[in-house]
Chain A
Amino acid sequence: GAVVSQHPSWVICKSGTSVKIECRSLDFQATTMFWYRQFPKQSLMLMATSNEGSKATYEQGVEKDKFLINHASLTLSTLTVTSAHPEDSSFYICSARGLNEQFFGPGTRLTVL
C-alpha cells in the first residue's frame, strides 16, 4: 500500500522554541493532507486540512498562528509548532488522501520541556 512518512519520529524541545514536522507521501501525489493530534489515552483529533497551493483549513479551537501549515508540493506538507509550550506535548499524525482511502504517517511525538 501507499506510504506516508513523517520526520522526525520524536523531538524534545525547550519551551518557547519552534518545531517543524514534515509529512511526505512517498509513492503517490496528495493534493490534500490532514494533521491530527493525539493526547495520551485519547483518540485522534483533527487539527487542520492542508491543500496543496492554498491555505490550510483549521478546526475550531486550533490556533492557525501557532500551528503553521505549509503544503508547497504534492508530496510534502509541514506543520510548525511555534513558541511551543508543555501543553503542546502530544503525538502529531499526518495523513494523505489516496484514491480510495487515507494513509497515515507513523506519527511524531513532541515533548516540550
Chain B
Amino acid sequence: DAKTTQPPSMDCAEGRAANLPCNHSTISGNEYVYWYRQIHSQGPQYIIHGLKNNETNEMASLIITEDRKSSTLILPHATLRDTAVYYCIVNENSNSGYALNFGKGTSLLVTP
C-alpha cells in the first residue's frame, strides 16, 4: 500500500508555479521522499528526492516540513509539457533494494 496521500488532480496556468502537495504522516526516519512523473504512455521519470532538507535541481524544488509528515513539489514555471501524473513516494534509499510503490498520484494539467 502507498504510504502517501495526494490530491487526485490539479490545474496550473502556463508560466505559473505548480505546487503539488503530498502527505506522508507515517514516514519513518530512514525513508526518503521521492517524486516521479509519468507523461501519458511513457515510463516514469525521476524528478527529485530528499530526506529532510529542502532540495532543488534543474527540474523542481522539494520542500519537506520540519516534522517530515508532508512535502511540496514545486515546478517554478510550469509549461504545457509538464502535464503529467506526479507521484510522491516514500522509500528507503534505492540501495536498500526495495521497489518503489506507486500510489494514485496527482494528475497535473497545465493550461495555456
Contact = CB atoms under 8 A, between A and B. Distances in A.
Interface of A: 1, 4, 6, 32, 34, 36, 43-46, 49, 91, 93, 95, 97-107, 109
Interface of B: 34, 36, 38, 41-46, 49, 87, 93-95, 97, 99-105
A106 B94 contact: no
A46 B46 contact: no
Given A34-B99, A43-B102, A101 B34 contact: yes
Nearest to A106: B43
A107 B41 contact: yes
Contact of B44 (A32, A44, A97): A44
Contacts of A4: 43
Nearest to A51: B97
A97 B94 contact: yes
A1 B101 CA distance: 21
Given A32-B97, A97-B94, A104 B104 contact: no
B65 to A, nearest CB: 22
Contacts of A97: 94-95, 97
A46 B43 contact: no
Contacts of A99: 94-95
Given A34-B99, A44-B102, A46-B99, A101 B41 contact: no
B42 A46 contact: no
A106 B42 contact: yes
Contacts of B36: 104
A43 B34 CA distance: 16
